[in-house]
A and B are shown apart, each in its own frame.
Chain A
Amino acid sequence: DAGVIQSPRHEVTEMGQEVTLRCKPISGHDYLFWYRQTMMRGLELLIYFNNNVPIDDSGMPEDRFSAKMPNASFSTLKIQPSEPRDSAVYFCASSLRGPNYEQYFGPGTRLTVT
């Protein structure tokens, strides 16, 4: 069974450009999470969905960030406009049992904003 799939794996963009990150969770997992990982701040939860509905977006840094989950097998995280401080690795994860239980992570998207 395929794990969590993320694309692209690497993204390099210039400041001010729009960036869209994509995620396909494990089939049957009703919970989907977006995390950001940096050396300074570690792994931070940005937002999570349950049954395609955003439940907690308190970690979204600012209005430049938005996330959608139009169906059970696809989610996007969009940054518009991007800034150099957005450079990080963005992970998508999914869970069968809920936000307090085992989470399965994708390989991540390494974003570099110049």
Chain B
Amino acid sequence: SQQGEEDPQALSIQEGENATMNCSYKTSINNLQWYRQNSGRGLVHLILIRSNEREKHSGRLRVTLDTSKKSSSLLITASRAADTASYFCAKAQGGSEKLVFGKGTKLTVNP
């Protein structure tokens, strides 16, 4: 079954606004990662947050992890049209040697 389900499935915002995407999971994790996929391209790794971390930043990206709620959020601040893409969370589950990807959030940033 798919783990790491993202919410919402689609999000449309105006340039300059913030975009928040959420990811939930069911089993314990070692880390959680976020990837971006532009249309017709491969996935690009954005950020990795370990299970003992609560927040991580990278440029305009902010990721939070709440292990008690088994959820993570990706915040993109001051969005740009170039941020238009699908965003996936991927979990490294405890005891498993592979990443499990969700089905992604499709973000559209309108100029």
Contact = CB atoms under 8 A, between A and B. Distances in A.
Given A98-B97, A99-B97, A100-B92, 15 more contacts: A42-B102, A42-B104, A56-B97, A56-B98, A93-B42, A93-B43, A100-B96, A100-B98, A100-B99, A102-B48, A103-B99, A104-B45, A105-B43, A108-B41, A108-B42
Given A100-B31, A102-B48, A108-B41, A43 B97 contact: no
Contacts, number: 50
Q: B-side binding surface: helix, strand, loop or mixed?
A: strand
B84 interface: no
Interface in B82-105: 88, 92, 96-99, 101-104
Q: How large is the interface on B (under 10, 10 to 19, 20 to 34, 35 or more residues)?
A: 20 to 34
Nearest to A55: B97
Interface of A: 4, 42-43, 45, 48, 55-56, 91, 93, 98-108
A107 B103 CA distance: 18
B45 A103 contact: yes
A93 B44 CA distance: 10
